[in-house]
Amino acid sequence: MNVFYILRDERGQLVPFIAVSLMLVITFSAFGIGLTAVYRDRTRIKDALDAAASAALAAGARKETRATYLYEKKVCVERNDDGDCIDWDWVKRSRDYRSYIVLNEDKAKRAARAYFDKNMRMDGLEYEIKEWVIDFRYEPRRLQVHVQRPHTEGRITTYLDDFPRYVEVTINARVETKVPMGTVVKQETVNTRLGVKHIKEID
């Protein structure tokens, strides 16, 4: 058997071709499956972040109402037999109530983290949080508050105070998850950076 015989021999010519094709198919299949899994994990992280931001507002935000005009009124506290007032007193009164939103930031932060972890655990994801930044922003609605209570509180004043109608929570996170079949494409983990923003607004 010489070199010319080997070159002329056509037996087994498809084997190298199929071997190369198989390697390509395996690599692309692994890549496709890995990419699909990474995308699915990204969707799950996004959903978990969504639940976290929603929980932060649901657990931490509450509505309150306050008057913007505080005054006092003279009322009768004692009358004689004829019904005439013989003793007066000043009582506190208020009007022009405005609703606003208050957020317990500590509670909101705890709820956000708890719901993120819960959703990720329920999805069965192995993950590690590399970055977790949660910010709150309020509407800068400042209203004038008038206090006219010289007799009951000893003061007559006017000042600007905050009455925010909405609060916004923003979570920016970087989460590391494992890549299924990552060894084939030499990418064991993937870092997903996502941000969500939720707003709670009152009428």
Partner 1 sequence: MINLYRGCPEISRLFKLISHDEKGSAVVEVAIMMPLLLMLIFGSIMFIQAYRTQVVLDTAAREAAREYAVTHDSSEAREKAEIELMIGGINPDETNIITRVNDFERQVIIEMNYRFQVPFAGKYNPVLRGTASFHREPEPEYW
By the rule CB under 8 A, 21 interacts with partner 1: yes
Q: Six-digit token pair at 77? A: 């506290």
Q: Six-digit token pair at 51? A: 């639940």
Among 72-80, 82-90, 118-126, 136-144, the segment contacting partner 1 (CB under 8 A): 118-126
By the rule CB under 8 A, 26 interacts with partner 1: yes
By the rule CB under 8 A, 197 interacts with partner 1: no
- Beta pairing partners, 175: 129, 192
Over the window 77 to 116, marking each residue x when it contacts partner 1 by CB under 8 A and - when it does not, the resulting string is ----------------------------------x---x-
Distance (Å, rounded) from C-alpha 175 to C-alpha 184? 22
Size of the site for partner 1 (CB under 8 A): 37
The nearer residue to partner 1, 112 or 147, going by C-beta atoms, is: 112
By the rule CB under 8 A, 36 interacts with partner 1: yes
Question: By the 8 A CB rule, do 162 and 140 touch?
Answer: yes
Distance (Å, rounded) from C-alpha 162 to C-alpha 164? 6
Kindly report the CA angle at 129 between 36 and 184, in degrees rounded to 5?
A: 35
Among 15-23, 75-83, 154-162, 168-176, the segment contacting partner 1 (CB under 8 A): 15-23
- If 0-12 CB within 10 Å is exposed, 13-18 middle and 19+ buried, where does residue 136 land? middle
- Beta pairing partners, 138: 167
- Which residues contact partner 1 by CB under 8 A? 10-15, 18, 21-22, 25-26, 29, 32-33, 36-37, 40, 43-44, 47, 50-51, 54-55, 58-59, 63, 111, 115, 118-119, 122-123, 200-203
